[in-house]
Chains A and B, each alone.
Chain A
Amino acid sequence: MSLPARIVTLLVAFAAVVAGAVFIVVHYLGSSLAVVNYSPEASGGVVNVVMQEDPQNSVSSRPDWVSYFVQDPKTKAWVHTTLFQVPANTRVNMTILGYDGCTPLRNNFFSKVQGTIGGGMTVQQFKTVGKPLGAPRRYSVLNSWSNCSVGHTFAIPSLHVYVPMASPNTALFNSSACGASPCTSGPHSVMKFSFMTPKTTGTFRWQCFVPCGGGFLDGNGGPMQTLGFMMGNMEVSA
């Protein structure tokens, strides 16, 4: 092989390796998920964020994966993403609708509500949208091992925020669980809690600690480790 041919071959091989690496980074590690921006909605140092977690999703190529959805504050439409943006040094009033059934925590310590303002949260059960099953109740611990009561968690480890997500009434869930996502009907729980965003900007990872990702006894699989499902980022802006 002549010298020019060898040089060309070498360059082509090098370019192929670089292209492969770029593809892996962009395709597997990068994210094209939408970021729901709550920052413009903040007022008086407070912003309201609304999310829901569903037993499945009918909007992705992984329909059997449990998933969070984030509500667009302007259109009120549910967006299949786990990325949202909030301002720094702001009180975030979280409302999370829990449509998914219970799964016991691997570490029941995360039954304890931590890092929220006042150290607790309120939970209200609904038979379906608009039909509450009693008044909201305040919890500082929601024991996932006692009453089949926890479906997921919303946790931002770097901010020491850990909140167990109550599951709907078990009997109602087993008979009439929401079957299409984003859920707009069916038994669910509504959790409300607040926490402060840090004074500095940055990206803060949040995750679920319930082993809710199908197929993995040891370790978090599928949706548990995938952005857009049970893993997300809270982007704190200036």
Chain B
Amino acid sequence: MAESQAPAAPGAPEKAGPNHGMRIFLIWIVLALVADLLIWFLWYPHLPPGRMTESARHQQFDIAVLGLAAAPVMLFVWTYFGYTLINWRHRDGDDDDGPPLFGHTGIQASWIAGTAVIVLAAFVFGTVELIVPDGAGAGEGPNPVWKPSGSNVLQVQVIGQQWQFTYRYPQFGGMESTQLLLPLNRPVAFHVTSLDVIHSFWAYQLGVKADANPGVDNVAYTTTRQLGGFTVRCSELCGIWHGAMFDSGQVVTPTTFLAWATRTQSIERRQGVLAALPPYALSYDPTVIPQLGQQVVKVAGITGANGYYYPPSDPVAP
């Protein structure tokens, strides 16, 4: 026999249920606060790519800010999900339907407004973070829009070839090196190009990454802020030994850098390396020897091992 329930007396107030919304809000706000504090004070200082350069610092800051923004959203979803599982789960013997759902203009408008604000804020933040650190360490192409101010920008040309990066310093007579040394606290302009296929210059701890395209001068900027070593990798699949195309570089004191650069320039001048190199240019055509003023394939005497730089059709590529 079904248990009868006495009807409420007319005029008596209905028993108020718990305020689920407030409960969820309070749980969420505590969790979000804790998560954001952990992100800011514990995670942020250790986030990649570190603080070796201005662009790296900004990238680290960007990741931290995105983490701060994303954590509350994620935690709200998880809090609501967990609260629902605990409080509104199906219980034995309860065959009643759930309460009917109706539209709520206020909630819908708030949701749309909230997400619009988040997206617009991300757009503004991302744009500012691209402009302020002079392109954020990314390749800006041959005509960069965002440049560091001042005249003390160190020019470094990054030349990719299978499977090695080399570096030319036009302000030091165009000397070239397999070592990448940079002075501390100085803006640097990387002019990234390639002599063969497409590579990508990725100096991880510097927060610099720019594609190396043949015949193209791809410019990326950063400003060094910490002494130490950094890793350089090719991040564009450039052939079967792409994985072996990595190296390391150093940010050193301005005095050490100047001593190294002038010494290398002097050695290369004395040995005839500078004279053997092509005049410094923003990109190079590997089928031309500038010193001889004509195409390699037309240079008399350059034969053997099938002899010269191959035109695309000779012989046919397998």
A112 to B277: give the CA distance in the assembly, Å: 10
A47 to B318: give the CA distance in the assembly, Å: 39
Q: Is the CB of A106 within 8 A of B196?
A: yes
* B contact residues around A143 at 8 Å (CB): 272, 276
A153 to B312: give the CA distance in the assembly, Å: 23
* B304 in complex: contacting residue of A173, A222, A224, CB < 8 Å: A173
Q: Is the CB of B305 within 8 A of A151?
A: yes
Q: Is the CB of A104 within 8 A of B304?
A: no
Q: Is the CB of A108 within 8 A of B278?
A: yes
Contact with A along B156-167 (1 / 0, CB 8 A): 000101111010
Stretch at the interface among A15-23, A30-38, A72-80, A205-213: A205-213
* B305 in complex: contacting residue of A112, A212, A222, CB < 8 Å: A212
A209 to B159: give the CA distance in the assembly, Å: 13
Interface secondary structure of B, over-half rule: loop
A217 is an interface residue with CB less than 8 A from chain B: yes
Q: Is the CB of A112 within 8 A of B197?
A: no
Q: Is the CB of A225 within 8 A of B239?
A: yes
B99 is an interface residue with CB less than 8 A from chain A: no
Stretch at the interface among B56-64, B118-126, B251-259, B286-294: B286-294
Q: Is the CB of A220 within 8 A of B317?
A: no
* B310 in complex: contacting residue of A55, A141, A145, A214, CB < 8 Å: A214
Across chains A and B, the number of contacting residue pairs, with CB separation under 8 Å, is 139
Please count how many residues in chain B sit with their CB below 8 Å of the partner chain's CB atoms. 49
A221 is an interface residue with CB less than 8 A from chain B: yes
Closest to A108 in B: B276
A61 is an interface residue with CB less than 8 A from chain B: no
Q: Is the CB of B239 within 8 A of A219?
A: yes
Closest to B273 in A: A112
A114 to B179: give the CA distance in the assembly, Å: 12
Contact with A along B265-276 (1 / 0, CB 8 A): 000100111001
A167 is an interface residue with CB less than 8 A from chain B: yes
Q: Is the CB of A146 within 8 A of B276?
A: yes
A157-206 residues with Cβ-Cβ distance < 8 A to B are 157-158, 160, 162, 167, 170, 173-174, 177, 205
A14 is an interface residue with CB less than 8 A from chain B: no
Starting from the known contacts A104-B299, A214-B306, 6 additional A-B residue pairs (CB-CB under 8 Å) come to: A100-B305, A103-B305, A108-B276, A162-B178, A173-B304, A211-B310
A92 is an interface residue with CB less than 8 A from chain B: no
A167 to B304: give the CA distance in the assembly, Å: 9
B302 is an interface residue with CB less than 8 A from chain A: yes
* B contact residues around A174 at 8 Å (CB): 303-304
* B311 in complex: contacting residue of A155, A157, A217, CB < 8 Å: A217
B241 is an interface residue with CB less than 8 A from chain A: yes
Tell me how far the C-beta of A205 lies from the nearest C-beta in chain B, rounded to whole angstroms. 5
Q: Is the CB of B271 within 8 A of A140?
A: yes
Q: List 22 A-B contacts (CB under 8 A).
A: A66-B305, A100-B304, A101-B304, A103-B305, A103-B306, A106-B195, A109-B276, A146-B276, A146-B291, A148-B299, A148-B304, A152-B305, A157-B178, A158-B244, A167-B304, A170-B304, A173-B304, A174-B303, A205-B241, A216-B310, A218-B197, A225-B241
Q: Is the CB of B305 within 8 A of A101?
A: yes
* B contact residues around A160 at 8 Å (CB): 178-179
A215 is an interface residue with CB less than 8 A from chain B: yes
* B contact residues around A66 at 8 Å (CB): 305
A74 to B75: give the CA distance in the assembly, Å: 70
A205 to B291: give the CA distance in the assembly, Å: 32
* B contact residues around A219 at 8 Å (CB): 162, 196-197, 238-239
Q: Is the CB of B315 within 8 A of A214?
A: yes
B176 is an interface residue with CB less than 8 A from chain A: yes
Tell me how far the C-beta of B263 lies from the nearest C-beta in chain A, rounded to whole angstroms. 13
A158 to B244: give the CA distance in the assembly, Å: 9
Among A107, A170, A220, the most chain B Cβ lie within 10 Å of the Cβ of A107
B309 is an interface residue with CB less than 8 A from chain A: yes
Tell me how far the C-beta of B295 lies from the nearest C-beta in chain A, rounded to whole angstroms. 11
Tell me how far the C-beta of B210 lies from the nearest C-beta in chain A, rounded to whole angstroms. 19
B282 is an interface residue with CB less than 8 A from chain A: no
A222 to B286: give the CA distance in the assembly, Å: 19
Contact with B along A126-158 (1 / 0, CB 8 A): 000000000000001101011010011001011
* A contact residues around B162 at 8 Å (CB): 219-220, 224-225
Evaluate whether A112 and B268 lie within 8 angstroms (CB atoms) in the complex, with A215-B318, A218-B197 already known: yes
Closest to A167 in B: B304
In the A-B complex, list the 5 residue pairs whose CB atoms are closest, starting with the nearest.
A101-B304, A219-B197, A215-B317, A109-B176, A143-B276
A86 is an interface residue with CB less than 8 A from chain B: no
A162 to B178: give the CA distance in the assembly, Å: 10
Q: Is the CB of B305 within 8 A of A221?
A: no
Closest to B306 in A: A214
A41-67 residues with Cβ-Cβ distance < 8 A to B are 55, 66
A216 to B299: give the CA distance in the assembly, Å: 19
* B contact residues around A141 at 8 Å (CB): 271-273, 276
A111 is an interface residue with CB less than 8 A from chain B: yes
A143 to B307: give the CA distance in the assembly, Å: 16
A5 to B39: give the CA distance in the assembly, Å: 52
